[in-house]
Amino acid sequence: MSVLPIRRQTMVEGDIDLSKLERRLREPRTLINAALNWLVAGLTVLAMVPLFSVIFMLLWRGGQRLGIALFTELPPGAGMVGGGIGNALLGTVIMVGIATLLSVPVGILGGIYLAEFGPNTKTASVVRFAAKVLTGLPSVIAGVFVYALVVTTMGTFSALAGGVALSILMLPTIILTAEDAIRMVPHRMREAAIGMGCTQTQAILKVILPTARPGILTGVMLAVARAAGETAPLLFTALFSDYWIRRLHEPSASLAVIIYDFSGQPYPNLIEIAWAASLVLVLIVLGLNIAAQFYLRKSFTK
Amino acid sequence: MDTHDHAPTPATIKPAAPAPVPANGAHANGNGNGHSIVEVKLKALYYGSFKAVRDTDLAIKRNAITAFIGPSGCGKSTVLRSINRMNDLVRGFRFDGHIHFRGRDIYDTKIDPVAVRRHIGMVFQQPNPFAMSIYRNVTFGLRLNGYKGNIQDKVEQALRGSALWDEVKEKLHQSGLALSGGQQQRLCIARAIATEPEVLLMDEPCSALDPVATRKIEELMLELKKRFTIITVTHNLQQAKRVADMTGFLYVDTTQGARTGYLVEYGPTEGIFNDPKEKHTKDYIQGAFS
């Protein structure tokens, strides 16, 4: 009772031509399909080339200086040997820390407002629009703004001003991701909380925020990763320092600025230091991104 | 004793009927009366300009299961959610009428809806445990109320009360979301009863569950009515027949272009199913069973 031998001639009316089910390699749509599949795969690989070549380059050029001295010593002077990026790393950590302290509370409270209190009000749509515009704000503008606002009034470049500038860049990301994360909390959780006799504040603090936490943390980490790599705002605010930071209201070194500064110097030792600083910075940003992914994934599988 | 004389007269179908207070509805004395713990006197319920429910009067018997049945859109869930003021969350919600809980009108402006919900608990259609451990789900209401006694005992008591203890006693600190749907629903019941509310509202508690889990919840409801007053909404007429002592049939009036639900008939379940007085009730029950 094989079907194949009876092919086209003896087909019962209304029956289907089963020979059509066979795979035919020369059919145009098969060829087009295969070609497009290869094209997509090829372009995907191409898209990853920049990232991996940057990482490879950094490991190759910056990897040789990786060591304890890099993290503990001060930057070398012109023509000197050795040295490290200790004060720059510390400066970046302190300034990103200041920026996080400033932007996280404001950002999360803003996100709560947008998601919970006035999702459809005029105020909310204005705030949301402002945050979206601010996301695309060129970072140099944030630097100039804080220069005028903080540096000129304090009369000095400072780590504090650097932190303020970075916080302006972090704020919109945190607001928008916090709003999204809070909106993603299922409505039935809200109902459960209210049904248990929570006030709105209790529902938000005890149920909604804990449920949205992985999403909020993801946003914070992405914002921190972005801030850690910013150079332009720091040139106008924290400037640079060859020494360990002692007070928040004095200039401070940072990884981004040391890379910017040393990579243009004619001394091989300084250029090596710049490569090493680049590697450290990329590893920090990469680590934060991976951690953010991890948290986000956790929120979906839990 | 006076057997069924607290069941109010069925609301008439004519919209013009002035929804009379049941002659025997002696609610105004501040303590409620012996049998009814909740008395609904709903004249009209609006969402914005949409009139969702009208003329629904009934008295809920203490320590009994009352079921609301009726076609989709008849407002049975809406009426249920008015009883602990959950509808307050809905924009444009307006309630014209009274609901007395132990003689106090919970729609009085002096009443705090949050406090009402701590006495009238709720179980929802979709199981909705919080994204925290089983233990913390159960203790949620206790912590909210600042309970000072032995929390451990309360957790066991609530989980035994919802017939879940044996299944979860080994894993109290695992996430409540890792349980099966039926277990999640029983966890939600445990969470609701842990604070010992007087009334438990159950909004189609089995509609997301398979038959075995449904059976368990039904058995649980029969057990729980010894301690609580249960008001439930169900699409499943067999379920109403199996568990409910009293049944209210709501119907949706589409004659005037609007879709406004109202209470057609209310009384002991047997009477509603075997000897319905109203034509709509008869049609619905026969249609659903044939």
Interchain contact A187–B (C-beta under 8 A): no
Q: Are residues A198 and B131, on separate chains, in Cβ contact within 8 Å?
A: no
Containing structural domain, residue B116: 36-128+199-285
What is the structure's pLDDT at B23? 39
How does pLDDT run across A251-290, given as a tens digit for each residue?
999 999 999 999 999 998 999 999 999 999 999 999 988 9
Distance from CA of A199 to the nearest CA of B (A): 6
Distance separating alpha carbons of residues B125 and B117, to the nearest angstrom:
17
Tell me which residue in A188, A199, A202 faces B124 most closely, judged by beta carbons: A188
Helix axes B181-193, B151-161, angle to 10 degrees: 130
pLDDT at position B4 is: 44
CA distance B175 to chain A (A): 8
Q: What is the DSSP string of B60-117?
A: EETTSEEEEE-STTSSHHHHHHHTTTGGGGSTTEEEEEEEEETTEETTSTT--HHHHH
Put simply, whether B118 touches A (Cβ < 8 Å) is yes
Question: What local confidence, expressed as pLDDT, does residue B135 receive?
Answer: 93
Instruction: Give start and end residues of each alpha helix (H) in chain A.
Output: 28-62, 68-72, 86-112, 122-135, 139-146, 152-154, 159-183, 187-195, 200-202, 209-228, 232-237, 255-262, 268-301
Say yes or no: B122 contacts chain A, CB-CB below 8 A. Answer: yes
Cβ contact A191–B131 (<8 Å)? no
Contact B124 A202 (CB under 8 A): no
CB–CB of A211 and B115 under 8 A? Answer: no
Domain ranges of chain A: 68-301
DSSP string across A186-201: -HHHHHHHHHTT--HH
C-alpha–C-alpha distance, residues A147 and A162, integer Å: 9
Using 70 as the pLDDT threshold, list the residues of chain A that sit under it: 1-14, 299-302
In-domain check, residue B168: no
Reported residue count of chain B is 290
Residue A104 makes CB contacts below 8 A (sequence gap 6+) with A174, A220
Instruction: Transcribe A111-137 into DSSP letters.
Output: HHIIIII-TTSHHHHHHHHHHHHHHT-
CATH number for B236: 3.40.50.300
B63 contacts chain A (CB < 8 A): no
Please give chain B's pLDDT, 290 residues, in tens.
Answer: 444 444 444 443 333 334 344 434 333 333 444 578 999 999 999 998 888 888 999 999 999 999 999 888 888 899 999 999 999 888 889 999 999 999 889 999 898 999 999 899 999 999 999 989 999 999 999 988 888 888 888 899 899 888 889 898 899 999 889 999 889 999 999 999 998 899 999 999 888 888 888 888 899 899 889 999 999 999 888 899 999 999 999 998 777 677 889 899 999 999 999 988 888 898 888 886 54
Q: What is the pLDDT of residue B18?
A: 40
Give the C-alpha distances (Å, rounded to integers) separating B62 from A53, A236, B222, B225, B226.
Answer: 74, 73, 13, 9, 9
Name B252's bridge partners. B261
Cβ contact B74:B261 at 8 Å = yes
**Phi, psi (deg, nearest 5) at residue A239:** 55, -120
Residue in A189, A197, A199 nearest the CB of B128: A189
Q: What is the number of CB-based contacts under 8 A between chain A and chain B? A: 61
Q: Do B121 and A302 touch (CB under 8 A)?
A: no
Helix axes A159-183, A122-135, angle to 10 degrees: 130
The secondary structure of residue B199, as a DSSP letter, is: E
Q: What is the count of structural domains for chain B?
A: 1
CB B124 within 8 A of CB B86: no
End-to-end CA distance of chain A: 53
Homologous superfamily, domain A68-301: MetI-like (1.10.3720.10)
- In single-letter form, the type of residue at position B22 comes to P
On whether the pTM is more than 0.90, the answer is no
Q: Tell me, what's the pLDDT at A27? A: 81
- Nearest neighbour of A194 by CB, restricted to B86, B129, B177: B86
CA-to-CA dists, residue A239 to A73, A150, A157, A161, angstroms: 19, 13, 6, 10
Cα distances (Å, whole numbers) of residue A286 to A45, A154, A254, A266: 19, 35, 18, 29
Task: Please tell me if residue A118 touches chain B, with a CB cutoff of 8 Å.
Answer: no
